[in-house]
Structure 1
């Protein structure tokens, strides 16, 4: 009820600013201004909504300097929405979000061919416990997804309020002097030990438990050819990367170095993993990392980007920027990487992050998103190379993180914009699902001071 009242107050406050100009209010909330001939009850525009052109919305959702982005559109409006990842046919988006009747992240889905204002986020997860890191299987009918969560371990009865079954964050109420001291830092992530990875169908029905080892298993992604899953696990005693078949068989450990290896994605050719990692070096750093891990915590304030073959060979560090560099995704040219970093804004607080692009050899660093004291992260390029989706605090309150989609301008200085593509599964979009679940993200940095939750998802 408090959340509902807060949401109403925010809407009323924004509407009050533009009460004399409905069109201005619609632009501010990034709604596409409908043509006069469209009927109010019309449920779908002709063509794909994600391809509709919009006005620039300068300094609202699109900022000066963002030359690689065009036709920026907002996908969610309020709450904390993150880790939006395309289906292989680019028609849908799976995401994690909180603020829709639950106190922690659940998994939802959007149809990118329908105006978001004509849809309700369709929940895929159970609504029990917490979840993170969802991803589509590569199928012509988009029938299956994976995500991590602890719903299987939640004890409920007929008196249980399922919206209150979230896993408890250690630093929200630290017990004992040692934990209180460890929590006295700018940010920590909880590595929930009962998180496992599950396969579900399009309606959220359980299909298969893919991991079943003690400790954290999460951050799963599917390879471009649809045959493998990469994920992070603590089964060895440290947070390392693993690869397995999409049915959970043929497990291979990829990394084996002290530090949190996570947020991995396959490169477009499927041969390597791009990921972010912490690498404690000094005795004090190592001791603190191990002590935090004993409490199922990590401190993600010093991370760099790495790349490694899926068999564990040829690991090398890409960035040497300092601060927190994370949420990497390799573009379809199999060379450039889009990622999130606060290396140039850390003095303004941990939560100010921008998107950057860099070559896989560490050269060619370029800033992609702009806007003062904003949070931008979780970027993914569509499989046809035409779109970029990411999470941002732009056009919202300091307690919100929303998803945005834009046309990707690969070469903004050229007169034409050739797009590098990779083979994708093609299928006819089925439109908005008629079956819905009732309302039921990896962690995001806290958004106070315009800083949103940021454990990826990866």
Structure 2
């Protein structure tokens, strides 16, 4: 029955709104762009402080890809012609997986949904194939396979901190910002129409955050199968599962280096007895607290683990640039200077040197960066040019830009470390409420 539901639900789609890019009118008219099949090559006005801010010298010809709702985790196909993304607000109450054709002006095409519409989904990625015929994503839809569903929009898994009655859980929820680690998540392979092909994970507990290696033979993912959130790899057909990390803490959001020899990932590392006890208590309720995370690199055989940031706060969504040395990532470590809840993109060498800020704009959220496989483009999610949804909450859209290193030389000094006294973040009911108000959705998207 559930296979039939997948086939039926995968056909749903929606149309993007039409908004003008800020094109250089002396180069090309807006109406001409609508007819252009090479819209990515069109020049846009630099540093307009709307979609391209002063100081963003690594970006040229910034263009907006989505127009409304909450859109994130845009990942290129291996031939750079398509983009898979995670979004909500399009007729479903929780995140679903969609696609864009990068050969077509995004304002003139339909966002095509490839997930079932049942339950929650996260972290989609293309397999390496000449025809881009298959993708993977994590979903909870199997939990509905023996149920009669009258309204697929009401099938989101319940968050543990929504009206908790357990006294211990209520206390944790009132003093922590949490992500749900839904145990029903498994990783699936689907075809380009969203039709089910293969279940790639089949163990109790959370399996998600899957990405494909540059040669297409391996998948890295995060799993709770050992009782902690660790990194694993498997063959692209789901066989030969190998555990990569084993240290206590949430290891997730991994991506392969361009040469396929290393994984870059974000991790929490509770050290004090109090932090360890809290981490374990949250995990017993399938929750984690993502406030303090740093970036790590490890060889794909699990050797040579090293921490490359020591910034405190939240550092995540890392991705290797095409030079196989630098990593672009998102952080709020300097948010005090840019407004509470502000996240910027940074670049750092994978030896921990050369920290460079690359996105700007007051109170902006920038995250989920990915470089195209040819090294020419960067796609990322941002609140820039977004409509205000609620107090402190703005639309999150995807943007694409030409990447350039033809700039002033980046810093070569080691990345600064915060004093150890700031490693512990005091969390109160008031601060949790403020964080939740400003970042409830955009941070939940990082739970991939």
* Category of TM-score, reference length = shorter chain: 0.7 to 0.9
**1:408 counterpart = 2:398:** no
Alignment of 1:192-207 (within 5 A): 192-207=182-197
Match of 1:74 among 52, 58, 64: 64
**1:428 aligns to what?**
none
**1:221 aligns to what?**
211
Deviation at 1:453, TM superposition (A): 3.1
Deviation track 1:127-149 (CA, whole Å, cap 9, x = no partner) reads 00000000000001000000001
Three-state SS of the structure 2 residue aligned to 1:55 is coil
Aligned CA distance change for structure 1 residues 29 and 187 (closer, same or farther; 3 Å): farther
**1:371 counterpart = 2:356:** no
Match of 1:107 among 97, 101, 116: 97
Alignment of 1:262-301 (within 5 A): 262-301=252-291
**1:5 aligns to what?**
none
For the Cα contact (< 8 Å) 1:27–1:33, is it kept in 2?
A: no
Once residues 222 and 267 of structure 2 are traced to their aligned partners in structure 1, the CA distance between those partners, rounded to angstroms, is 11
Match of 1:50 among 26, 36, 40: 40
The CA RMSD measured in Å over matched residues stands at 2.5
**1:35 aligns to what?**
29
Aligned CA distance change for structure 1 residues 109 and 207 (closer, same or farther; 3 Å): same
Match of 1:153 among 143, 157, 160: 143
**2:20 aligns to what?**
26
**1:178 counterpart = 2:172:** no
Deviation at 1:187, TM superposition (A): 2.1
Unaligned residue ranges in structure 1 (runs of 5+): 1-10, 16-24, 415-444
**1:395 aligns to what?**
385
Aligned CA distance change for structure 1 residues 73 and 365 (closer, same or farther; 3 Å): same
**1:121 counterpart = 2:111:** yes
Once residues 30 and 97 of structure 2 are traced to their aligned partners in structure 1, the CA distance between those partners, rounded to angstroms, is 36
Three-state SS of the structure 2 residue aligned to 1:100 is coil
Match of 2:349 among 359, 370, 381: 359
Deviation at 1:178, TM superposition (A): 1.1
Deviation at 1:226, TM superposition (A): 0.5
Aligned CA distance change for structure 1 residues 283 and 221 (closer, same or farther; 3 Å): same
For the Cα contact (< 8 Å) 2:383–2:397, is it kept in 1?
A: yes
**1:88 aligns to what?**
78
For the Cα contact (< 8 Å) 1:389–1:406, is it kept in 2?
A: yes
Aligned CA distance change for structure 1 residues 157 and 231 (closer, same or farther; 3 Å): closer
Three-state SS of the structure 2 residue aligned to 1:183 is helix
Deviation track 1:373-392 (CA, whole Å, cap 9, x = no partner) reads 11110000000000000000
Deviation at 1:449, TM superposition (A): 7.1
Three-state SS of the structure 1 residue aligned to 2:438 is coil
Aligned CA distance change for structure 1 residues 452 and 407 (closer, same or farther; 3 Å): same
**1:18 aligns to what?**
none
Match of 2:376 among 371, 386, 396: 386
Aligned CA distance change for structure 1 residues 350 and 221 (closer, same or farther; 3 Å): farther
Aligned CA distance change for structure 1 residues 271 and 212 (closer, same or farther; 3 Å): same
Deviation at 1:50, TM superposition (A): 2.1
Aligned CA distance change for structure 1 residues 159 and 209 (closer, same or farther; 3 Å): closer
Once residues 159 and 198 of structure 1 are traced to their aligned partners in structure 2, the CA distance between those partners, rounded to angstroms, is 21
Deviation at 1:160, TM superposition (A): 1.6
For this pair of structures, how many residues does the alignment match?
402
Deviation at 1:266, TM superposition (A): 0.3
Deviation track 1:264-298 (CA, whole Å, cap 9, x = no partner) reads 00001101100000000000000000000011000
Deviation at 1:179, TM superposition (A): 1.1
Aligned CA distance change for structure 1 residues 365 and 203 (closer, same or farther; 3 Å): same
**1:328 aligns to what?**
318
Bigger relative contact order, structure 1 or 2 (CA pairs below 8 A, ≥6 apart): 1
Deviation at 1:27, TM superposition (A): 4.6
